[in-house]
Chain A
Amino acid sequence: MNYLPHTLRDIDKALKVIGVASLEELFADIPAALRKPEMDLPQGMDEVALMRHLRELAKKNTVSGPNFLGGGAQRHFIPAVTPHLSMQSEFVTAYTPYQAEVAQGILQATFEYQTLMSELTALPISNASMYDGASSVAEAALLAMRATRRNKVVVSQGVHPETREVLATYLQAFETSLVELPLQDLVTPEVAVTGDTACVIVQNPNFLGSLEPMLALAQAAHNAGALFVAVVDPLSLALLHAPGHYGADIAVGDGQTIGNPLNFGGPSFGFMVVTETLLRQLPGRLVGQTTDIDSKRAFVLTLQAREQHIRRSKAKSNICSNHQLTALMAAINLAALGPQGLRELALGSVKAAHHLAESLQAVGLEVLTGPKFFNEFVLRSSLPPRQLRRELAGQGIHAGVPVPADYGLGDTVILSTTELTTAKDIDMLVSAIKQITRDRALEVSHG
Chain B
Amino acid sequence: MDDKKFALGSSNHDFPLIFERSQAGRRAAQPPKADEVDLGELLGAENLRQTAARLPEVSELDLVRHFTQLAQRQFSIDGNFYPLGSCTMKYNPKVNEEAAKLFSELHPYQDPATAQGALELLYNLQDYLGEITGMDAVSLQPAAGAHGELTGILIIRAFHQANGEGEQRRVVIVPDGAHGTNPATAAMVGYEVVEVASDKNGEVDLSAFKEALGPHVAAVMLTNPNTVGVFETNILEISRLAHEVGAQLYYDGANLNAVMGYARPGDMGFDVVHLNLHKTFTTPHGGGGPGTGPVGVKAHLRDFLPVPLVKKEAEGFSFDYDLPRSIGRMRSFYGNFGNLVRAYTYIRALGKEGLKQVSAMAVLNANYLRIKMKEIGFNIAFDRINMHEFVAQPPAGLKTLDIAKALLDYGAHPMTVYFPLIVKEAMMVEPTETESLETLDQYADILSEILKRAENDPDYLAQAPYHTPVRRLDEVKAARKPVLRYSFSTD
Contacts and interface: CB of A to CB of B under 8 A. Distances in A.
B345 A398 contact: no
A226 interface: no
Contacts of B158: 172
A380 B413 CA distance: 58
B42 interface: yes
Interface in A1-35: 1-6, 10-11, 13-15, 17-20, 23, 25-31, 33-35
A372 B131 CA distance: 52
Interface stretch (B73-81, B204-212, B295-303, B391-399): B73-81
Nearest to B78: A89
B470 A296 contact: yes
Interface in B377-418: 385, 387, 404-405, 408, 413-414
Given A44-B351, A99-B404, A344 B484 contact: no
A162 interface: yes
Interface residues of B, number: 194
Interface string B245-288: 00000000000000101111001100000000010000011111
Given A241-B50, A313-B187, A42 B352 contact: yes
Interface string A102-144: 1111101111101110111010111011011111000000000
B73 A81 contact: no
A122 B54 CA distance: 10
Interface in B28-83: 28-34, 36-37, 39, 42-44, 46-50, 52-58, 60, 63-64, 66-68, 70-80, 82
A325 B287 contact: yes
A34 B268 contact: yes
A155 interface: no
Interface stretch (A284-292, A359-367, A438-446): A284-292
Contacts of B364: 6, 11, 14-15, 18, 23, 26
B247 to A, nearest CB: 17
B468 to A, nearest CB: 4
B337 A263 contact: yes
A14 B48 contact: no
Contact of B180 (A73, A126, A312): A312
A91 B478 CA distance: 23
A87 B58 CA distance: 20
A320 interface: yes
A206 interface: no
Contact of B484 (A20, A126, A296, A354): A126
Contacts of A86: 67
Given A53-B348, A261-B104, A321-B145, A6 B470 contact: no
A339 B55 contact: yes
B105 interface: yes
Contact of A169 (B14, B330, B355): B330
A279 B482 contact: yes
A173 B154 contact: yes
Given A13-B437, A211-B43, A245-B50, A109 B67 contact: yes
Contacts of B351: 41-45
A58 interface: yes
A339 B27 CA distance: 9
B143 A291 contact: no
Contacts of A2: 349-350, 354, 357-358
A193 to B, nearest CB: 21
B337 A37 contact: no
Nearest to A297: B14
A230 to B, nearest CB: 13
Interface string A203-231: 00000000100010000000000000000
Contacts of A43: 351-353
Contacts of B404: 99
A351 interface: yes
Contacts of B465: 101
A72 B484 CA distance: 28
A87 B98 CA distance: 12
B183 to A, nearest CB: 4
B90 to A, nearest CB: 8
Given A18-B385, A300-B478, A335 B14 contact: no
A386 to B, nearest CB: 8
Interface residues of A, number: 199
* Most chain B beta-carbon neighbours within 10 Å: one of A14, A58, A131, A297: A131
Given A131-B143, A324-B287, A325-B289, A39 B183 contact: no
A174 B462 CA distance: 47
A341 B27 contact: yes
A73 to B, nearest CB: 6
Contacts of B408: 99, 101-102
A296 B7 CA distance: 13
B159 interface: no
B48 A240 contact: yes
A95 B132 contact: no
Nearest to A163: B332
Contact of B107 (A67, A91, A303, A347): A67
A93 B49 contact: no
Interface string B352-383: 11110110110111011001100000000000
A318 B146 contact: yes
* Most chain B beta-carbon neighbours within 10 Å: one of A87, A116, A374: A116
Contacts of A279: 482, 484
Interface in B152-166: 154, 157-158
Given A91-B76, A119-B54, A269-B290, A292 B472 contact: yes
B73 A18 contact: no
B39 to A, nearest CB: 6
A165 interface: yes
A398 B107 contact: yes
Contacts of B387: 29
B268 to A, nearest CB: 6
B125 to A, nearest CB: 11
Contacts of A351: 34, 37, 42
Given A39-B352, A237-B49, A293 B472 contact: yes
A62 B75 contact: no
B463 to A, nearest CB: 8
30 contacts: A1-B354, A5-B436, A6-B361, A17-B368, A39-B355, A50-B348, A77-B31, A91-B287, A94-B74, A94-B75, A94-B77, A104-B73, A108-B73, A115-B486, A131-B144, A131-B289, A166-B328, A169-B330, A263-B337, A263-B338, A266-B339, A290-B473, A318-B188, A321-B144, A323-B286, A336-B29, A347-B34, A347-B37, A347-B39, A393-B111
Given A265-B335, A325-B290, 5 more contacts: A14-B365, A114-B485, A245-B49, A262-B108, A265-B334
By Cβ-Cβ distance, the 3 closest A-B pairs, closest first, are A265-B333, A325-B286, A105-B74
